[in-house]
Amino acid sequence: MSVIAALLLASTGTAQAAPPPQRVTFDRYSLRIDGKPTLIWSSEFHPFRLPSPDLWRDILQKMKASGFNTVAIYIDWGFHSPKKGVYDFSGIRDIDRLLTMAQEEGLYVITRAGPYVNAELSRGGFPGWLVNQPGKARTDDPEYLAAVDEWLSHINPIIAKHQLGRGGTIILHQIENELALTTPSQSRYMQHLYDKARADGITVPMFHNDQGRNGYWVPKSSDVSLTVPGPQELYAFDGYPGGVCGVDNKPTKGAPAPDWGLYGPGGAKGGASASPKTPGFLAEFGGGWFDYWGSNGMYPCNAIQRGSGYQRVFYGTNIANGIAIQSIYMGYGGTSWGWLPAPVVYTSYDYGSAIDEARNLRPKALELKQIGQFLAAVPDLARLEKAPPVTIAGSDAVQVYHDRNPDTDMRLLFVAPKPSNATGDARFTITADLPDGRYSFASELHGRDAKLLVAGLNLERQRLVYASSELQTTIRRGTEDVALFYGRAGEPGEMVLRYASAPKVTVIEGQVASSFDPAKGDLRLTYVHQGLARVRIEGGARPPLLLLIGDVAAGQSFFRQDGLLERGPALVRHAVVRGSTLDLTGDTDTAAPLEVWGPVRSIRWNGQAVPVTRSASRSLIAKRPLPAPESLTLPDLMAATWRYAEGSPETRPDFDDSGWTVAGSARNVATVRPPTGQPNLGADAYGFHDGDVWYRGRFQGSAQAKTATIHHGAGGAGMLQLFLDGKLIGQHELAGGLPRPITTGVAEFALPPEAQTPGEHVLAAMVRVNGHNWDLDVDDAHKEPRGLISVSLADASGDSFAVPIAWKIQGRAGGEDLRDVARGPSNNGGLYGERMGWTLPDFADGAWSSMKLADATPYMGTSWYRTTFDLSVPKNEDATIGLQIGDAKTPRSPGRYRVLIFVNGWNMGQFVANVGPQRVFPIPEGILHHRGRNTLALAVTSDGAPGNGIEPVRLVTLHHARGGVSVTDVAVPTYRDLYPSH
Ligand code: IPT
C-alpha cells in the first residue's frame, strides 16, 4: 500500500476499494509500462493456425528467444462460433490458456479480437452464420451490432482477465481492423466497439489498425483536422512496403523504406504518428507476405525478400522514425488448415516469416534476435526525437538518421543506403556532434544492409562515447559488466569508452588495439570484426568491463536472459538459476558447443549435468558438445496397405436424399443473386458455410434439355462437378491467382441424351467451396454466395426454358450444429465420406478393398484412400513431419485432381494438383501422434481421366531437433463417440 493510500485509510477510517492502478499509459513518444517508457517489439501469431495448443508455447518461446518482448494475436470469431449463440473456447480454442502461456513466457500481448480481422481467413474471420444477416457488416446496423456484442461478450472478459496488472500481460487491445470506410455509421460502430470493450472491463489503451498511414480513426484527443476521429486512445496503422517476389520467384529490389514517423509527413510537427499526441505505432509491418493458389511457391522467396538486410533497413527506418510500437506480421504464419483459408490463399500460411510453418527458425530470426536484444539493452530508444544532421564524407550513397533521447541525450545513428533500397558498396566517414564531443569515424555499407549505432550512452556502469560497431546486448554480472558488440565480418571497427583515468586493457582473444587520451578520458579501441574478440578493461574508476566484439555470426550465436548470456545451441528456451547451478532448456539440431556467462558454477542442459571448464573470459564452456538429435526414420507409405472406397453415391438416381434439405425458398441476402424467380440455392442460406456442398435436382426429361448453364460460387481455385443420373457430365475449375482470385464462375455443360428422354432425371452437383471472400473493403463481399447460384437448362438454339428442378442440398452433417465440436467448424464439409465419419481413426474400413497406392486408378468423383502408420519419435526430440504428394520440385502436376488430407480426422489441407503450388503439408505434433498410431484418409476428387489420380505420397521430416516442448495429443472424440448408432 502506498503511503498516501495508508494516510487516506487512516483519515477516513473506511477501506475504499481503490481503482486498480493503470499500468499501461503513454505519451507522444511511447507506451509507459508502470511509468517506464518501453519500446514494444512484437510479432504476430495466430493460435487458430496451429491446432495443437502445447505447441503455442514453442512459438512463444521461439519469439522470446528471438528478441521480441511482445506477441500480437488475432482472434478469429468464426473459429469459435459455428452457430449464432454457440461459442467454444476449449481445446484448440482455449484463448485463456494461450494468454496464460504468454504471461508464463514473459511476453506482453497485443490482442486483436475482431470482430473483423481479415488475416486471409474465410470471411475475414466472420462466422459462417453472419453471412445470412441482411444488414451491412461493419456498420451500426442493429442486427450486426447484436451479433458483434454476442462475440464480444464472450471474448472481452477473457481479454480483460489477462490485462497487465489484472492477471496477465496484455498491454494493448485492437477494436477493429482496417476500417477504411468512415461514414457516420462507421463512427457509431467504432464508438460502440469501444464502449463495449470498456463496459466489459478492458482498461488497457485501445487502438484501430489503419490500412496505411491514412489518419483514419485518429483518436479524438489528438485534435488533428482532416482526419476521421476515433474513440480509442491510440492511432495505429499497418504497412507492407519492400516489394514482392517476382513471378520468377526471385526477390525484387522493392521501394525504399518509407518514413512513417519523425522524418515523414507530419513528422516536422514533432510526432512520430499521424496522431501527434500518441506514439508511432505500426500494428502490422510486413515480415513476409502470403502466397496464392497457382503461384510457383513463393514462401522461400518471400522470406528472402523480407529477410536479412530488409529487416535491418526497414525495421531500422521505423525505429529511427520514432515508431515505438512495432509489430511484425507474421512472426509465425502457420497453417490455414481445414476451411480456414480465404480464397486468396492455399493451406500453407508460412508467410516467409522468421519462424517457418514447420517451426524452424529461419536465418532471418537470428538478425531479429540481434535487433531485439539491442532494443532491450537501450531503453533510451523508447523516446526519440530528431537531432541535428551529421556530416557524411566519402559517399553520396548513404544517409544517417540522427536521433536523440530528450531525457538522456543518448544518440541513435541509423546508417542506411540512400535510397534505402540501394545495394551498392559505400565507404564513408561520419562526423557528428555527440553528447561527449565532436567525433568522426569510418563506416561501410555493402549490399542490402543498415546499421543501428548508438552514442553518448550509459551502458550498464560504463560510458559509451560512440561505436562504429552495433551494440547487441549487455549484462551486469556481479561487479563486472559484459557488453556484446558486432560488425560485418572483415570490416574494421572502432569504439570509444570514457574513463577518469587510463584503465588496464587486456586482450584475451582476437586483435584489438587500444589507446588512451588523458585529456578527454577517451579509451579508443580499434579492431577488425572477425570471430569473437574478448577484451577486459579494468580500472579507470569504473567497474570492470568484459567487451565481446563479434562478427555478425558470432553475435547471432548469443542468447540472453536477465544477467545471463549463452551461446552455441540452436535455441535456448529458458535459463533458470538455482543457487549456483544454471538450468538451461533448449534445442540442438546438431552437436553444439555451449558457453555461458552468468553468476553460476555448474550447468544442466535439458536436465542433464554438463561438465564445464572456466575460460579466460570467465565464461563456462562445456567440455563436450551438447548432443544432436538421433536420426529419424519414417514409415514408407508406398509400401503400406491402403483401403479404398468410392465416395460419390449422391450422384446415383436412387440415392436416398430424404434427409437432405429442400433448397429454394430460403431468404436470399447474398451479394450475387439468381435471375428473378429462380430459387435461392446458395449454401449459406441452408446453414452450410464451409467446405463441399452437394446438390441433387430432380427434373422431367425433355427433348429441349440440351445444355445446362451453371452459375456457381466456389471460392479461390474451387470447382464444380456436375453429374446426370450418376455419370459425370463435366467439371469447372476456378483459377487462383492475384490480385483477386476468381471466386464465382459460369459454366455451360452439354447434357447427354438421357436428359432428353421422358421421366425423372437427377442432376447432382458437388461444389468444392474454397472459402468466402474477406470484407476488407466494407462491401459485404463475404456475402458472395457459395455453392450453386443458379442453374438454367437450354435448348439447342441456346434459349433457356423453364423447367422445374426440385433441388435438395447437403453440406456438412448437421450444418451449424456441429457433430465434431473439438475439431470445430473449419474441419469438415459435406463430402459423403466426411458425413459418414470415414475421416476418423477408428472408423472400421475393413470391408473396403485393400491395395497399394501405386495401383490406384482415377475415379470420376471423389474416392477415399485410408491407411495407418506408426511413429516413434524419441521423447526428448521435437519434429515436424509432413505429408508430401508427388514430386516436391514441381509446383504443378500434369494430372488434374485434388485431395483433402485428413490426419487422424483433422483436415490438414488441400492439394490441387493442376493449380499448386503446395505439395508438402506439415502436420503439427498433437494432431500427429509422434509416439503411436496414425490414420491418414485422403479424399481424392477427379474427373476419372487417365493420369488424373493420386501421385506417390510420402512422409517427410521438415523440422527435427533434440529438445522441444512437451506435447500432449489434442483430445478428440472417437468415431464411436460421434456415430453412436453405427
Ligand atoms: C492486412 C490485414 O490487416 C491483415 O489481416 C492481413 O490481411 C494482412 O494485411 C495481409 O497479410 S491487409 C492490407 C495489406 C490490405
CA distance 333 to 47: 10
How remote is the CA of residue 118 from the centroid of ligand 1, in Å?
Answer: 6
In a 13 Å sphere around the CA of 479, the CA atoms on its Cβ side amount to 8
Q: Which three cell numbers stand for residue 100?
A: 496464460
| Residue 182 CB neighbour total at 10 angstroms | 17
Predicted confidence (pLDDT) at residue 589 exceeds the cutoff of 80: yes
| Residue at grid coordinates 451449424 | 816
CA distance 300 to 59: 19
Q: By the 8 A CB rule, do 448 and 255 touch?
A: no
Q: By the 8 A CB rule, do 282 and 235 touch?
A: no
By three-state DSSP, how is residue 126 classified? coil
Nearest atom in ligand 1 to the alpha carbon of residue 774 is: 7
State the pLDDT at residue 226.
57
pLDDT in tens, 933-951: 999 999 999 999 999 999 9
Q: Which among 755, 775, 945 is positioned nearest to 126, based on CA atoms?
A: 775
Residues recorded for the chain: 982
Torsional class of 123: left (φ above 0), alpha (ψ -120 to 50), beta (otherwise): left
State the pLDDT at residue 10.
37
Average pLDDT estimate for 434-447: 98
pLDDT in tens, 243-256: 999 888 999 999 99
How remote is the CA of residue 284 from the centroid of ligand 1, in Å?
Answer: 8
Q: How confident is the model at residue 222 (pLDDT cuts 50, 70, 90)?
A: confident
| Residue at grid coordinates 556481479 | 478
State the pLDDT at residue 353.
98
How remote is the CA of residue 301 from the centroid of ligand 1, in Å?
Answer: 19
Nearest atom in ligand 1 to the alpha carbon of residue 209 is: 3
Q: Which among 389, 395, 543, 558 is positioned nearest to 470, based on CA atoms?
A: 558
Predicted confidence (pLDDT) at residue 526 exceeds the cutoff of 90: yes
CA distance 646 to 392: 73
Average pLDDT estimate for 395-410: 98
CA distance 282 to 287: 12
State the pLDDT at residue 268.
41
Q: By the 8 A CB rule, do 214 and 180 touch?
A: yes
Nearest CA to ligand 1 atom 10: 119
Q: Quick one: three-class SS letters along 506-530?
A: EEEECCEEEEEECCCCEEEEEEECC
Which mutation among 118, 120, 773 tests ligand 1's pocket best, with the greatest number of atoms within 8 A of CB?
A: 118
Which mutation among 238, 289, 291 tests ligand 1's pocket best, with the greatest number of atoms within 8 A of CB?
A: 238
Strand ranges of the sheet holding 595-597, from the earlier edge strand across to the other edge: 558-561, 564-567, 595-597, 620-622, 612-614
Q: Which three cell numbers stand for residue 402?
A: 540522427
pLDDT in tens, 80-89: 999 999 999 9
Q: How confident is the model at residue 270 (pLDDT cuts 50, 70, 90)?
A: very low
How remote is the CA of residue 209 from the centroid of ligand 1, in Å?
Answer: 10
How remote is the CA of residue 282 from the centroid of ligand 1, in Å?
Answer: 13
Q: How confident is the model at residue 171 (pLDDT cuts 50, 70, 90)?
A: very high
How remote is the CA of residue 547 from the centroid of ligand 1, in Å?
Answer: 43
Q: Which three cell numbers stand for residue 817?
A: 450444429
pLDDT in tens, 626-668: 999 999 999 999 999 999 999 999 999 999 999 999 999 999 9
pTM of the model: 0.96
How remote is the CA of residue 44 from the centroid of ligand 1, in Å?
Answer: 12
Q: Which among 940, 689, 676, 692 is positioned nearest to 829, based on CA atoms?
A: 692
Average pLDDT estimate for 263-284: 76
Q: Which three cell numbers stand for residue 822?
A: 473439438
| H or E stretch covering 658 | none
Burial class, 106, CB count within 10 angstroms (exposed 0-12 / middle 13-18 / buried 19+): middle
Q: Quick one: three-class SS letters along 182-243?
A: CCHHHHHHHHHHHHHHHHCCCCCCEEEEECCCCCEEEEHHHCCCCCEEECCCEEEEEECCCC
Torsional class of 409: left (φ above 0), alpha (ψ -120 to 50), beta (otherwise): left
pLDDT in tens, 470-506: 999 999 998 999 999 999 999 999 999 999 999 999 9
Q: Which three cell numbers stand for residue 395?
A: 559517399
CA distance 539 to 480: 11
Average pLDDT, the chain: 95
Q: By the 8 A CB rule, do 462 and 481 touch?
A: yes
Predicted confidence (pLDDT) at residue 6 exceeds the cutoff of 50: no
How remote is the CA of residue 78 from the centroid of ligand 1, in Å?
Answer: 17
Q: Which three cell numbers stand for residue 57?
A: 508455447
How remote is the CA of residue 485 from the centroid of ligand 1, in Å?
Answer: 36
Which mutation among 240, 282, 290, 776 tests ligand 1's pocket best, with the greatest number of atoms within 8 A of CB?
A: 240
Q: Which among 795, 786, 568 is positioned nearest to 702, based on CA atoms?
A: 795
Secondary structure letter of residue 128 according to DSSP: G
Q: By the 8 A CB rule, do 620 and 841 touch?
A: no
Q: How confident is the model at residue 802 (pLDDT cuts 50, 70, 90)?
A: confident
Q: Which three cell numbers stand for residue 775?
A: 470484407
pLDDT in tens, 706-746: 999 999 999 999 999 999 999 999 999 998 877 788 999 99
Backbone angles phi, psi at 10, to 5 degrees: -65, -40
CA distance 600 to 578: 9
Percent of the chain at pLDDT > 70 equals 96
Q: How confident is the model at residue 448 (pLDDT cuts 50, 70, 90)?
A: very high
pLDDT in tens, 364-375: 999 999 999 999
Nearest CA to ligand 1 atom 9: 119
How remote is the CA of residue 93 from the centroid of ligand 1, in Å?
Answer: 22
Nearest CA to ligand 1 atom 14: 240
Q: Which three cell numbers stand for residue 522?
A: 577517451
Burial class, 268, CB count within 10 angstroms (exposed 0-12 / middle 13-18 / buried 19+): exposed
Q: How confident is the model at residue 224 (pLDDT cuts 50, 70, 90)?
A: low
- Give the CA angle between residues 749, 752, 757 to the nearest 5°: 130
Backbone angles phi, psi at 536, to 5 degrees: -105, 135
Predicted confidence (pLDDT) at residue 1 exceeds the cutoff of 80: no
| Ligand 1 pocket at CB < 6 A | 117-120, 177-178, 209, 211, 238, 240, 284, 290
Backbone angles phi, psi at 132, to 5 degrees: -90, 5
Sign of CA dihedral 593, 598, 601, 605: negative
Nearest atom in ligand 1 to the alpha carbon of residue 240 is: 14
Q: By the 8 A CB rule, do 196 and 176 touch?
A: no
Q: Which three cell numbers stand for residue 341?
A: 483459408
Predicted confidence (pLDDT) at residue 11 exceeds the cutoff of 70: no
Nearest atom in ligand 1 to the alpha carbon of residue 74 is: 5
CA distance 535 to 494: 13
Nearest CA to ligand 1 atom 6: 119
In this structure, the dihedral spanned by the alpha carbons of residues 308, 312, 317 and 319, taken in order and rounded to 10 degrees, is 130
How remote is the CA of residue 285 from the centroid of ligand 1, in Å?
Answer: 10
Predicted confidence (pLDDT) at residue 61 exceeds the cutoff of 90: yes
